[in-house]
Chain A
Amino acid sequence: MSFNPKHILGIKDLSADEINFILDTADSFKEINTRDIKKVPTLRGKTIVNLFFEASTRTRTSFEIAGKRLSADTVNISASSSSVVKGETLEDTAQNIEAMHPDIIVMRHSASGSCDYLAERLNCSVINAGDGTHEHPSQALLDAFTIRQHKGAIEGLTVTIAGDITHSRVVRSNIYCLKKLGAKVRIAGPRTMVPPGIEKLGCEVYYNLKEAVTDADCVMMLRIQRERQGATLIPSVREYARYFGLNEEKLKLAKKDAIVMHPGPINRGVELASAVADGSQNVILDQVENGVAVRMALLYLVAGGEKLQQD
């Protein structure tokens, strides 16, 4: 099959075949990251702008490295050092950047739907690197890639995702992705952090972490977003850690070969006990490593093909 997306805005719009095609493409790019000379000429002459209106280390660096390893020219713009602080609107900022003819804009923004908004107004391709509490497609894809790497296949697995479900774009993209690939998804968190109606996305809802991790193949812990609303939704961080933090004792309830994932950054001792974060079942750094390959695949698929010339 051939898959020629103009934009990557969310997992919701992708089919299982398209997701698998992205993961297979990433599998082929992964090898480049272990070479002595970590560069191929695939996207030579393409310009990629990383437009980040929210703080990010992992995702931005990962996209930047992915672009550079494909020989694209990558430019980073972060909100704190840009004209956004001078009061420019998102659309004006984006149009000014587009006037310099980039091929791809990779954007992170605190407003849900902002990437769709830009994609409708710009000619260049847009990749969503996280928009508000909506979607974070590249994270869900690298999670699926990592699960596939460790478990062989995703179909039939039980995946538990625990933490602040309401405010997590990672959860939403992961539910779409894992459901499409045939996994059983469990959601767990305190009642204040689980939105009503989330079961309509096809997942089971738990308010008790021990029950949620029992016999799971994969446990994905989320960060309490202290910079967002996270802190006001729980009585105290200590209490949260006690009931919803993953420690060795709770992890024992999952399958023996279960893997522990986290999109980062970790709050050690809060959602993840240090013993688990450093334990043999954690695949957190595999997620980061695979992130580069998955983002290379996304950039390749978005940049290739005739559609760029039609505009």
Chain B
Amino acid sequence: METETIEILDNDGINRALTRIAHEILEKNKGSEDLVLIGIRTGGAYLATELHKKLTQIEGQDIPLGMIDVTMYRDDLASRNNLAVGQTDISFPVSNKKIILVDDVLFTGRTIRAAMDAVMDLGRPQNMQLAILVDRGHRELPIRPDFIGRNLPTARNEQIEVDFDEKNIPQAVFLLRS
């Protein structure tokens, strides 16, 4: 069957969405005090890096940036082939911090559940918030994003693809329909 590819966001669209999310994060948290960004590998880590640039630019001071790999915390390890385990790189304490989790696509919510558990194993944050580029619906867990780039109701068999270039800069978001 032929796959139909629809562009949802282009490079500028992603950029504008991230800029807005950066402002919303600062507005909701009344500045950047105690804020830390944690990107979920792999797509979320790249987006967190972009969001980090914007936040640093707006606030004029550095906000800690970390990356987390949730493979070890997945709930489906026993039922699928081995996944490569990526590196978790969080070089700052998370206790009493306001954690902004960043991921590219929010779908069932299971990855976010795993990420929350992974962060909690590192300490006790003040709170955790979730920033997402595309929310495609179909949640299987009571998880809700705080910051959303684009709300996009989808059918289950459709796919969302976020393209990154060789420098890991997000280029476009596509909806694949087959």
Contact = CB atoms under 8 A, between A and B. Distances in A.
Interface string B60-87: 0000000001011100011111111111
A42 interface: yes
Nearest to A28: B85
Nearest to A301: B82
A112 interface: no
B67 to A, nearest CB: 11
B121 interface: yes
Contacts of B79: 306, 309
Contact of B81 (A27, A41, A300, A306): A306
A145 B89 CA distance: 19
B111 to A, nearest CB: 15
A76 interface: no
A305 B81 contact: yes
Contacts of A31: 87-89
Contacts of B12: none
B7 interface: no
A3 interface: yes
A305 B82 contact: yes
B85 A25 contact: yes
A39 B79 CA distance: 22
A21 B80 CA distance: 17
Contacts of A41: 72-73, 117
A73 to B, nearest CB: 15
A contact residues, range: 20 to 34
The 5 closest A-B pairs by CB, nearest first: A28-B85, A40-B72, A304-B82, A42-B72, A2-B81
Interface residues of B, number: 22
B122 interface: yes
Given A25-B85, A28-B87, A304-B81, 10 more contacts: A24-B84, A28-B71, A36-B122, A37-B121, A301-B82, A304-B78, A305-B78, A305-B80, A305-B81, A305-B82
Interface in B129-157: none
Interface in A252-311: 297, 300-301, 304-306, 308-309
Majority SS of interface residues in chain B? loop
A42 B87 contact: no
A177 to B, nearest CB: 20
14 contacts: A2-B81, A25-B84, A29-B72, A31-B89, A37-B122, A39-B121, A40-B121, A41-B72, A41-B73, A41-B117, A42-B77, A306-B80, A306-B81, A308-B78
A13 B122 CA distance: 38
A4 interface: yes
B121 A35 contact: yes
A263 to B, nearest CB: 26
Contacts of A42: 72-73, 77
Contacts of B122: 35-37
B21 to A, nearest CB: 28
Contacts of B87: 27-28, 31
Nearest to B87: A28
Interface-central residue, B69, B82, B86, B121, by most chain A CB under 10 Å: B82
A9 B85 CA distance: 22
A28 B78 contact: no
A73 B80 CA distance: 21
Contacts of B71: 28
A300 B82 contact: yes
A44 B86 CA distance: 19
Contacts of A21: 84
Contacts of B83: 2, 304
